[in-house]
Amino acid sequence: MSHATMNSTPTSQNGMTLEPTPELLEELAEASARLETATPEEIIAWGAERFGSGLTMATAFGPEGCLILSILSRVAPETYVFNLDTGYQFQATLDLRDRIAEKYGLEVEMLRPELSVPEYEAAHDGPLYVSNPNQCCFDRKIKVLHRGLAGRTAWMSGIRRDQSADRAQAAIVGWDKKFNLVKISPLANSTKQEVWGRIVKEEVPYNPMHDQGYPSIGCWPCTRAVIDGETDERAGRWSGTGKTECGLHSIDQQEGSGI
Ligand code: SF4
């Protein structure tokens, strides 16, 4: 299993913080533009080299996350990786942690909210995913993400620009104003077909629910299978509520984009 300390630069050691100075934003914009034509491996290697042990990754075990984990196992296996374990994840999602660990030797830490699901629902007279899903996501994802990112200088996500209109402007590298650190999206310019092509070819473990009509999988109360004719792969997330994101990936809160 991994998680030892990596080589680090003076501005990327775990426990240090970065400030979005003009110089840093310029560096990120230049890197993002340069990495537009790079492979995911090259982007991840750049992130590991630049930020060392300050680099982390949050994964929900989606196909993109699983592909990145397979690359991390070769390129930067000591990277700290965590999952936001809301208590509402599908069992098939939780099982992926073990399958990834078995295949790649990568340990994903499961970070949980302060209150268990029964405690949380008791405190709010029922499940907030029904009455106030934004608050539920804030309490059970965003707060936990802050904990996982504490002391880090860069985080990686598996978002792709072709996932949704919200994500179409995602930079390869940029400053995440919401969480106050660098955000790296090694698959931003990869297509769904490219990601799945690699997963199949390289036999990367993935959630079997993807073969059962669930292109995008989150918490079970807020995820349904897509219906015939639905082309938006995130159509089954928070369906019918008007909500499209849990708040982790606020593209309008990103600076330093090279696009
Ligand atoms: Fe709660 Fe649904 Fe958000 Fe999960 S996705 S944290 S269940 S509102």
Q: Is 109 left (phi over 0), alpha (psi -120 to 50) or beta?
A: beta
**Ligand 1 closest atom vs CA 129:** 8
Domain 22-255 part of CATH 3.40.47.10 = no
pLDDT, mean over the chain: 87
Radius of gyration over alpha carbons of the chain, in Å? 18
ipTM, 2 dp: 0.99
pLDDT of residue 243: 72
> Distance between CA atoms of 71 and 27, rounded to whole angstroms?
24
Active-site annotation holds for 246: yes
Q: Is the CB of 222 under 6 A from ligand 1?
A: yes
Domain ranges of the chain: 22-255
**In this predicted model, what pLDDT tens digit does every residue of 3-40 receive, in sequence order?**
433 333 334 445 568 999 999 999 999 999 999 999 99
> Distance between CA atoms of 245 and 238, rounded to whole angstroms?
8
On the 0-12 / 13-18 / 19+ scale of CB atoms within 10 A, 253 is: middle
What residues form DSSP beta bridges with 254? Answer: 176
Q: Is 103 left (phi over 0), alpha (psi -120 to 50) or beta?
A: alpha
CA of 54 to the centre of ligand 1 (A): 28
**In this predicted model, what pLDDT tens digit does every residue of 117-133 receive, in sequence order?**
999 999 999 999 988 99
Query: Residue 232 — pLDDT band, cuts 50, 70, 90?
Result: confident
DSSP H or E run through 174: strand 173-176
The closest of 59, 60, 34 to 47, measured between CA atoms, is 34
Pocket test for ligand 1, best of 111, 114, 222 (most atoms within 8 A of CB): 222
Give the lowest-confidence range in 29-38, 116-125, 200-209, 222-231: 222-231
Portion of the chain with pLDDT greater than 70, in percent: 88
CA of 219 to the centre of ligand 1 (A): 6
CA of 111 to the centre of ligand 1 (A): 15
Pocket test for ligand 1, best of 136, 237, 239, 241 (most atoms within 8 A of CB): 136
Q: Is the CB of 219 under 6 A from ligand 1?
A: yes
Closest C-alpha residue for ligand 1 atom 3: 137
Looking up tokens 């997330």, which residue turns up?
237
Closest C-alpha residue for ligand 1 atom 6: 137
Q: Is the CB of 100 under 6 A from ligand 1?
A: no
Looking up tokens 């984990």, which residue turns up?
69
pLDDT of residue 231: 73
